[in-house]
Each structure stands twice: as structure tokens, then as C-alpha cells.
């Protein structure tokens, strides 16, 4: 959910909700002052009340443009340890910095100190608690959410690890956090020239970030190096590449749109997956000589059985990428080159042989050394990552995700 969509949901929820006055946070804490300000323009009375409580004036203000179309993100930092983030002057997040020596956490939440553990916060705040993903505790405060951030790996059981409490409109895990606007790893990858997006410079900046291991290209989308030539060919209405930030985990979505300007968004995983992308045309239709030559050496899609296997080829060699289950929680897949006997059986029996082979791989626990497929699994070898990337690129138009985004 984008931050904008989160704010729209907030105003709907607010109008529908009968407030539960029994919850402790409404009666005993100053959190309602923050909750009521989220989603308001900075000049609205509810926002003014919060800013007045935060301090006479911010002692630090930073701002940056985020994405394209651009949102102006402003951070107001108060000497009281409170930080307010505005998007185009709308209050989107408020943080109580517990480690800021000046913040009086107990003035906002009686019973909460910078040394509070998660259990102590649960008692002090008195609101329903949840977890986003594996390690993000949060509280539901009526129509909005407060994340409790702790240092260390799930450090919430030990005192002294509380970093801060941040109130946002979007349910944690479903959208990006406004405080990631300033992610030191990915906030600077969009390059502008006189206000407009410099597409080539942005592609270079993204490529540098990939080389440095800061961003990881998602091969279910257009390859970064193919973005500009595909767009220039005008064969697709919209070409998009997606890259995941290894630090803040946001997905950078950079799209070039036919007959319109470029778009650059930071998304959570779920919203990034819902972006549209048509099938990518054959490289001969848009690639230069070098790119077409490289494609000769690449793996190519041949056939697949949804949820079970993909057949790909490189020149005359055939490879089966077969899915198998390690446990109820873990799925994996093995890439096996068809040997002479497999190829013969495939010629004779067609797909049904591939289904049979995929079934033996699935049942044969290829992750175990005792499996007959262990040594044949190319994903398990030293160049496993290159094989994975090559298969992902070959099947880009045929994955479950591809069916859903077209
Ligand atoms: Zn980041």
C-alpha cells in the first residue's frame, strides 16, 4: 500500500470507527495527540496541536524529493526528541526517539522508559500488539499503527534496546515506512537534471548500486541494462525494472512509459508485484548486435507445467528446473541437464516424461547428498547463482507472476 493509499484508508476508517474508549492508550497517554494528527495538513488544527506539544520550533529541518512524480518529504526534528515527517505537508509519521537523551517518553506514555522491554510497552500503551514479518512489533492505535523499534536481533526482551516508537497510517509490512525516505543505501539513486529525471544517469546509478551489492535486481522484471533499448523500441507500453534495497528492503520500481514521463516509486513487496508488465518481446526486435549475440548464449524458455517445472534450452542442451519441497515452510527447485536417455525419453513421450522426471526430482530430496539428483543439480554447484539468474531471465514471461501482471 502506498503511503497515499494508506492515508485514504485512514480517512475512511476514521469516519467508520466507533472509538473504544476503554483502551488505555486513549485515556492514559498523550498518543491520541499524535494519532489525530496523522493524515492532516500541517496547518490543520490537529497537526498544530501536535507541533505545539513537540516544542516551540523544530531545531532541525531536512527535506528531499522522493520518487517521480515527486513527493516532497520533510523531517521536522524537535529538541524534545520528537520527529515529524511530512509528505507534501501532510503528517505521515511521528517518531518518539527513545535514545534521544532529551525525549521524555514517560511524559507521552506514562510507565514507558527508554529502557522498556516490549512487554513493558504492551502494559504501558495498552493497545493490541501484532508482529509484521518476523521481527517488527507494532500496536494498533484505532485507525493507525505504532511500530516499536528495538536494536539488535529481536532485542525487545532486554532493557536498553528500545530505539523509538513511530506512528504511521499504513499497517506495518504492507507499505513503506516514511522514515526510509532517507535510507542511506537507496535514497540517492534517482538522478535529476534541472528537475527532470535523467534516465541514463539513473540507470547508471542503479547499476552502480547493484555492483556494490546495495540493490538486488529482480529478474522477474525487465533487466536494468535492457530498460532503455526496450523503451526506445516502443514495443511495450511500459517497461519496468525492480530492485530490492538490501538495507531498508523497499523495492525500487523504475518504469519508462510510452508517450509519458518516467515513473520512480519505492514500494513494499506486495504492491510492487501488482505493477503491470506485458510479455517482453524477442530480443531480435529491439536489441543491438551485441545484445542479440549475447542472447544466442543465453537460456531460452521451451515449456512449463505451472507450479511444477520449467524446460529451458541453450542451443541443443535441455535443462529441467523442477520444484521440490524441503519442508512445509520451504520450497526450492533443482536444475538438471537432460542426459541422452532423458532426451530420448522426452522425444518419445513428450511432456509426460518431463512430468515424470520432475516428480522423481520432487520425491528424490535433491538437497540431500544421498539423492541421485544431488550431483546433477546445477543450482547446487559453485556457479549456482549464475544458473539461477539465467533461468529467471529465460522464464520471465512465463512465471506465475508474469501471468498475473499482464
Ligand atoms: Zn533502502
Distance 111 CA to ligand 1 centre (A): 34
What number does CATH give the domain 3-178? Answer: 2.60.460
The model carries a pTM of: 0.87
The model's pLDDT over 94-130, given as tens digits with 9 standing for 90+, comes to 999 988 767 788 889 999 988 999 999 999 999 999 9
The model's pLDDT over 163-213, given as tens digits with 9 standing for 90+, comes to 999 999 999 988 899 999 999 999 999 999 999 999 999 999 999 999 999
Cβ atoms of 256 and 194 closer than 8 Å: no
Distance 50 CA to ligand 1 centre (A): 29
Q: How confident is the model over 380-384, as a mean pLDDT?
A: 92
Distance 244 CA to ligand 1 centre (A): 8
Distance 65 CA to ligand 1 centre (A): 15
pLDDT(2) > 80: no
**Domain boundaries along the sequence of the chain:** 3-178, 192-273, 297-405
Q: What is the pLDDT of residue 284?
A: 95
Mean pLDDT lowest among 34-48, 265-279, 303-317, 361-375: 361-375
Distance 134 CA to ligand 1 centre (A): 19
Distance 252 CA to ligand 1 centre (A): 8
Amino acid at each position: 500500500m502506498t503511503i497515499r493509499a494508506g492515508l485514504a484508508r485512514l480517512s475512511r476508517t476514521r469516519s467508520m470507527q466507533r472509538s473504544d474508549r476503554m483502551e488505555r492508550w486513549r485515556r492514559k497517554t498523550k498518543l491520541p495527540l499524535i494519532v489525530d494528527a496523522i493524515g492532516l495538513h500541517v496547518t490543520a488544527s490537529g497537526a498544530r496541536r501536535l507541533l505545539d506539544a513537540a516544542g516551540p520550533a523544530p531545531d532541525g529541518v531536512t527535506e528531499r524529493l522522493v520518487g517521480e512524480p515527486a513527493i516532497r518529504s520533510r523531517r521536522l526534528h524537535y529538541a524534545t526528541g520528537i520527529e515529524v515527517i511530512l509528505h507534501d505537508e501532510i503528517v505521515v509519521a511521528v517518531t518518539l526517539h527513545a535514545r534521544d537523551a532529551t525525549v521524555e517518553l514517560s511524559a507521552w506514555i506514562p510507565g514507558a522508559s527508554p529502557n522498556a522491554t516490549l512487554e513493558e510497552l504492551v502494559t504501558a500503551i495498552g493497545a493490541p500488539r501484532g508482529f509484521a514479518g518476523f521481527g517488527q512489533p507494532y500496536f494498533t492505535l484505532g485507525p493507525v499503527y505504532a511500530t516499536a523499534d528495538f536494536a539488535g536481533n529481536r532485542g525487545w526482551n532486554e532493557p536498553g534496546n528500545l530505539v523509538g516508537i513511530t506512528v504511521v497510517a499504513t499497517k506495518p509490512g504492507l507499505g513503506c515506512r516514511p522514515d526510509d525516505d532517507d535510507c542511506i543505501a537507496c535514497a540517492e539513486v534517482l538522478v535529476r537534471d534541472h528537475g527532470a529525471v535523467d534516465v541514463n544517469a539513473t540507470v547508471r546509478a542503479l547499476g552502480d548500486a547493484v555492483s556494490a551489492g546495495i540493490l538486488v535486481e529482480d529478474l522477474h522484471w525487465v533487466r536494468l541494462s535492457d530498460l532503455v533499448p526496450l523503451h526506445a523500441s516502443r514495443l511495450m507500453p511500459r517497461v519496468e525494472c525492480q530492485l530490492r534495497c538490501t538495507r531498508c528492503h523497499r523495492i525500487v520500481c523504475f518504469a519508462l512509459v510510452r508517450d509519458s514521463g518516467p515513473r520512480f516509486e519505492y514500494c513494499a513487496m506486495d504492491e510492487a508485484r501488482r505493477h503491470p508488465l506485458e510479455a517482453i518481446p524477442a530480443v531480435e526486435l529491439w536489441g543491438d548486435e551485441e545484445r542479440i549475440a549475447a542472447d544466442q548464449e543465453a537460456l531460452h524458455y521451451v515449456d512449463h507445467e505451472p507450479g511444477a517445472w520449467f524446460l529451458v534450452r541453450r542451443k541443443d542442451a535441455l535443462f529441467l528446473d523442477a520444484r521440490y519441497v524441503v519442508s512445509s515452510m520451504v520450497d526450492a527447485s533443482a536444475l538438471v541437464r537432460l542426459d541422452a536417455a532423458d532426451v530420448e525419453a522426452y522425444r518419445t513421450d513428450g511432456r509426460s516424461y518431463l512430468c515424470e522426471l520432475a516428480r522423481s526430482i520432487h520425491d528424490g530430496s535433491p538437497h540431500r547428498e544421498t539423492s541421485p539428483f544431488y550431483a546433477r543439480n546445477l543450482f547446487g554447484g559453485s556457479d549456482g547463482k549464475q544458473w539461477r539468474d539465467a533461468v529467471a531471465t529465460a522464464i520471465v514471461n512465463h512465471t506465475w507472476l508474469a501471468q498475473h501482471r499482464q
